[in-house]
Amino acid sequence: MRIKEASPFLRRVRNMEVLRVQTIASKENDGAIPAIFVRAETEQPGMTTVKGVNLEVPIIDFSNPNEEKVLHEIVEASREWGMFQIVNHEIPSDVIRKLQSVGKEFFELPQEEKELIAKPAGSDSLEGYGTKLQKEINGKKGWVDHLFHIVWPPSSINYHFWPKNPSSYREVNEEYCKYLRGVVDKLFKSMSKGLGLEEDELKEVANEEEMLYLLKINYYPPCPLPDLVLGVPPHTDMSYLTILVPNEVQGLQASRDGRWYDVKYVPNALVIHVGDQMEILSNGKYKAVFHRTTVNKDKTRMSWPVFIEPKAEREVGPHPKLLNQDNPPKYKTKKYKDYAYCKLNKIPQ
């Protein structure tokens, strides 16, 4: 087992702002990895994963003609799990395959070409190609590079951060987003009715027309010591909802009863995460899922989450119709940008 920074190349890893995980993984270092990636034993997936058990989170058939059954399953999963997978969701498998293909092609480009759309130093926005995302209290790093950009609404898109290569990237992402909006609409309507509200009330209070669809492509290169590192550390998403497409390489884990389990991979399924803003809107009736990602020794894992978020200035708090003397607000109402700042900088809300 090699952890020490044994070469000039590994010593350069201290400058993590410019050195990408993909670059580190591509170098021959006799199986060594920089110490900055090695987790404490209490976090290492080799020590903390329940082995041999796939967590079978609820799988919901979106095409089931029994709409009441679908509604009940979505609401139950959102309350009890904060996570579920949907199949037969009307996004053609070919559309998903193309989304994965153009994302993979981007990450396989020469490094200097990827850097053309890097997140600018000091930018308050998440958009762009990069590595560092959020502050970790212990100073450790995740074994992942990423690309962020907004895919909806058109008024919020900055095409500077969309890859020009492959040339079909824009067309493919726009087609995926067109179908995705139908999935989001059905989820919001179901979750609204599950709270005892009219089907459009949750969308109205979230201001559907202004909701941002923020795509993130995660690229987790092979790692020689996968049991010691994490791709992304344990967290809940800040969004209302997250709709995630994974590739076939196992890596998503969820916490259940204080233990970590692999989430079963279901081909062509969409993985749905309840995020912090939905938990807040529902005043705690729906639960944001605590999850993390692991990496593989031999294979590259990728995922394509789309975070459905409020605009920065949008105030989010518990829905007024859910509050009364017996059910007071459990969360503060605050602007989303203030919530995000606190979360990313590990400041109590």
With contact defined as beta carbons under 8 Å apart, do 126 and 118 qualify?
A: no
143, part of any domain:
yes
Q: For the chain, what is the domain count? A: 1
Looking at the annotation, which residues are catalytic? 216, 235, 237, 291
> Residue 41: is its pLDDT beyond 90?
yes
10, part of any domain:
no
> Residue 6: is its pLDDT beyond 60?
no
280, part of any domain:
yes
pLDDT at 135: 55
| Residue 155: CATH number of its domain | 2.60.120.330
pLDDT at 134: 58
- Where in the sequence is the domain holding 309, given as residue range(s)? 19-345
75, part of any domain:
yes
Question: Structure pTM?
Answer: 0.93
249, part of any domain:
yes
- Condensed to tens digits (0 to 9), the pLDDT of residues 108-128 reads 999 999 999 999 988 878 899
pLDDT exceeding 90 applies to what percent of the chain?
83
pLDDT at 139: 81
For residues 191, 194, 199, 202, the Cα torsion angle rounded to the nearest 10 degrees is -50
Structure tokens at 35: 């110490």
Q: Can you tell me the distance from the alpha carbon of 238 to that of 33, in angstroms, rounded to the nearest whole number?
A: 30
pLDDT at 18: 64
pLDDT at 133: 57
Mean local confidence (pLDDT), 276-303: 98
> Residue 5: is its pLDDT beyond 80?
no
- Condensed to tens digits (0 to 9), the pLDDT of residues 158-192 reads 999 999 999 999 999 999 999 999 999 999 999 99
102, part of any domain:
yes
> Residue 3: is its pLDDT beyond 60?
no
13, part of any domain:
no
- 344 HSE (CA, 13 A, CB side): 14
Cis bond before residue 153 (omega within 30° of 0): yes
> Residue 15: is its pLDDT beyond 90?
no
52, part of any domain:
yes
The one-letter amino acid at 261: Y
Structure tokens at 139: 């100073």
Q: How confident is the model at residue 62 (pLDDT cuts 50, 70, 90)?
A: very high
- Condensed to tens digits (0 to 9), the pLDDT of residues 203-245 reads 999 998 999 999 999 999 999 999 999 999 999 999 999 999 9
